[in-house]
């Protein structure tokens, strides 16, 4: 799996094997052997490769198209798939998203919209705290003037 992932990521980033080798401090031959499945990178090189490509180490090593056909996602970014809008406008947030963001029954979420960019859903508590911090910062700035 890792050999296919390394080759796919390198091609996605349009790096040559030599460029990857230079960036992580190994030989081009080592990169070629990893991509051909002849050898596997050690843990330090895996960490360096995950950082180079901006992916989670687990995805670099274990990702399989059979399980997740959408490709390896950038670290911290997710595609959860499609949801269907019900008759009353309701959607079901996918379980993986609920697990990652610790969303439970009864949680309050804020729905934001930008006609050019789309809809975003954020935890109301975090957003409201952020808004309060902005308001407080504005008040302090006005007092200093």
What's residue 128's pLDDT? 76
Confirm if 34 and 41 have CB atoms less than 8 A apart.
yes
Residue 43, classified by CB atoms within 10 Å of its CB into exposed (0-12), middle (13-18) or buried (19+), is exposed
Confirm if 75 and 55 have CB atoms less than 8 A apart.
yes
For the segment 6-27, what is each residue's pLDDT rounded down to a tens digit? 999 999 999 999 999 999 999 9
First to last CA, the chain: 60
Q: What is the pTM of this model?
A: 0.56
What's the rounded Cα separation, in Å, for the pair 89 and 113? 15
Confirm if 21 and 33 have CB atoms less than 8 A apart.
no
């Amino acid at each position: 799996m890792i050999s296919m992932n390394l080759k796919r990521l390198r091609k996605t980033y349009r790096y040559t094997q030599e460029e990857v080798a230079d960036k992580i401090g190994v030989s081009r031959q080592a990169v070629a052997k990893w991509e051909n499945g002849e050898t596997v990178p050690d843990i330090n090189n895996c960490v360096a490769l995950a950082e180079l490509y901006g992916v989670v180490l687990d995805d670099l090593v274990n990702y399989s198209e059979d399980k997740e056909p959408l490709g390896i996602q950038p670290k911290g970014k997710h595609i959860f798939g499609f949801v269907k809008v019900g008759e009353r406008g309701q959607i079901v947030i996918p379980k993986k998203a609920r697990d990652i963001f610790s969303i439970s029954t009864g949680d309050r979420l804020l729905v934001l919209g930008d006609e050019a960019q789309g809809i975003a859903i954020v935890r109301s508590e975090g957003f409201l705290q952020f808004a309060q911090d902005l308001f407080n910062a504005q008040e302090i700035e006005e007092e200093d003037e």
